[in-house]
Amino acid sequence: MRVLLIYPEFADTFWSFKHALKFVRKRASLPPLGLLTVAAMLPSDWELRLVDLNAGKLRKRDLAWADWAFISGMTVQRDAAHRVIGRCKAAGLTVVAGGPLFTSEPTPFHQVDHLILNEAELTLPAFLADLAAGHPQRVYSDDAFADISATPAPAWELAHLGKYATMAIQYSRGCPYRCDFCNVTALFGHRPRVKSAAQILAELDALYQRGWRGSIFFVDDNLIGNKKALKGDLLPALIKWRSDKPSITFHTEASINLADDAELMTGMVEAGFDTVFIGIETPSAESLAECSKSQNEGRDLVQDVKRIQRAGLQVQGGFIVGFDSDTSGIFQRQIDLIQKSGIATAMVGLLQAIPGTRLHKRLEDEGRLLGKFSGDNVAGGTNIVTKMHLDDLRQGYRKILDHIYSPKHYYQRVRTFLREFEPPKVRTKMRWSDLRAFSRTTYRLGLFGRERFHYWKLLLWTRFRRPELFPLAVTLAIYGHHFRKVCKRHVI
């Protein structure tokens, strides 16, 4: 059996980093971790070939070589998935599909021959057994949650690691919280399940042996969901493993209550974590209560963020406008929160209802759904009938993005962050790739970018005030360029 493992292209979105990747000569941010994990679960006598359309092209000779195509993706890849499925069917391939997109909305994909839904550890073996027996079904689903301590390591040998800016790894699935707009618990449950430290170290060793020496993203939706296992098992193992590998760094996602645990933050930094994405959402107490974001309620969010930054972790933040309780004042309040906190990477989106969430069910019952969830965080659209007039909501949303990603305010925010940030005192060697990225940044942003005044002001400030953070300042300047491009091109 010859199988193509195909990952559809991402649109030019906030998290695609397409405009930033050009500075470091990479094709994509992350490899398709789910597909590579599925590859490790397929029969050993099958011939496999990975085609990540974010890092390369699907060629006619690939289609001619293959018998089957396995396709995965997320909601934001919906249109690209339809296109690649059409190409595969036109080439006469049998198409198998799975992952979050197909689990959330299997019905529109009528060209798919076999749908492997929910968690592949449970549904893929049943499909493979039926296939071997000669009677595979069209749909395989299972609402149970897999024991990921038995999940195999990804088949990294299929990926061209040099095409990617960051690697990916998964430690846990599930989240203990019940935010009503989030589909994490619908997909993976409330009880965080974890891999053993030995599993994670084996996966890291495989990447290291293949030459990887850079950043690795723990894709967990909330790494600290199971603090006991994290603090008692994984972090001590990571600290030991990384002791002679200072170039390896980690970033992840966590909840804001990370700020309450100094021991945990210290452990994460010692283990090599330098960045966390946190769902801040909103400064409005009413909106936090409305969406059941209990872990964010009753807090000084700005001070919580600064506490995490001072511990040595850069905070990236997610923000939402369009809650039923939002008023016209929410837009300036969001701007103030973002600017004061020094969150350089601030993803602001309009509230959308994702299938499978409590929000989606409530709005469906109220007759307030409008079409499909797009999966694009900065497209300026929503699939719900909002309480605020939609024109006013979009105008306010545009105001936020125009402000926070204008060169003046973005670079001010970067300086605010750099003043607070206290990274570990570890020296790493400057690589030629870093110098090349800096030269390209200086040429494009420092000489010809409309932000050049603010760019040089930041670099000079950093050089004399926080010289150890100079590479980070350059990186954040590149990020700002990407965010401005995305917001300018795509927000309605």
In this structure, are residues 216 and 168 in contact, taking their beta carbons and an 8 Å threshold? yes
User: For residues 65-90, b (16+ Cβ closer than 10 Å) or e, as one string?
Assistant: ebebbbbbbbbbbbebbeebbeebee
Q: In this structure, what token pair is assigned to residue 429? A: 């060697």
Residue 310 pairs in a beta bridge with: none
Question: 2-140 belongs to which CATH class?
Answer: alpha beta
Q: What is the predicted pLDDT for the residue at 251?
A: 98
Q: In this structure, what token pair is assigned to residue 44? A: 């050993």
Residue 109 sits at φ, ψ, to 5 deg, of -95, 65
Q: What is the predicted pLDDT for the residue at 490?
A: 57
Q: What is the predicted pLDDT for the residue at 436?
A: 79
E strands, 282-385, are 314-321, 346-350
CATH 3.40.50.280 in the chain, residues? 2-140
Contacting residues for 288 by C-beta, under 8 A, at least 6 apart: 281, 282, 294, 296, 297
In this structure, are residues 305 and 419 in contact, taking their beta carbons and an 8 Å threshold? no
Residues 80, 374: Cα–Cα separation, whole Å: 13
Give the burial class of 450: count Cβ atoms within 10 A of its Cβ; 0-12 exposed, 13-18 middle, 19 or more buried.
exposed
Contacting residues for 228 by C-beta, under 8 A, at least 6 apart: none
Q: What is the predicted pLDDT for the residue at 414?
A: 98
Tell me the CB-side half-sphere exposure of residue 246, using CA atoms within 13 A.
7
CATH 3.20.20.70 in the chain, residues? 166-420
Residues 396, 380: Cα–Cα separation, whole Å: 11
Length of the chain, in residues:
492
Q: What is the mean pLDDT of each run of 10 residues along the chain (492 residues)?
A: 97 92 95 98 98 98 98 96 98 97 95 98 98 98 96 97 98 96 91 97 98 97 97 98 96 98 98 98 98 97 98 98 98 98 97 94 96 78 95 96 97 98 72 78 88 96 95 95 86 52
Q: What is the predicted pLDDT for the residue at 332?
A: 98
Compute CA distances 256 → 58, 299, 315, whole Å.
41, 9, 10
Domain 166-420: give its CATH code. Answer: 3.20.20.70
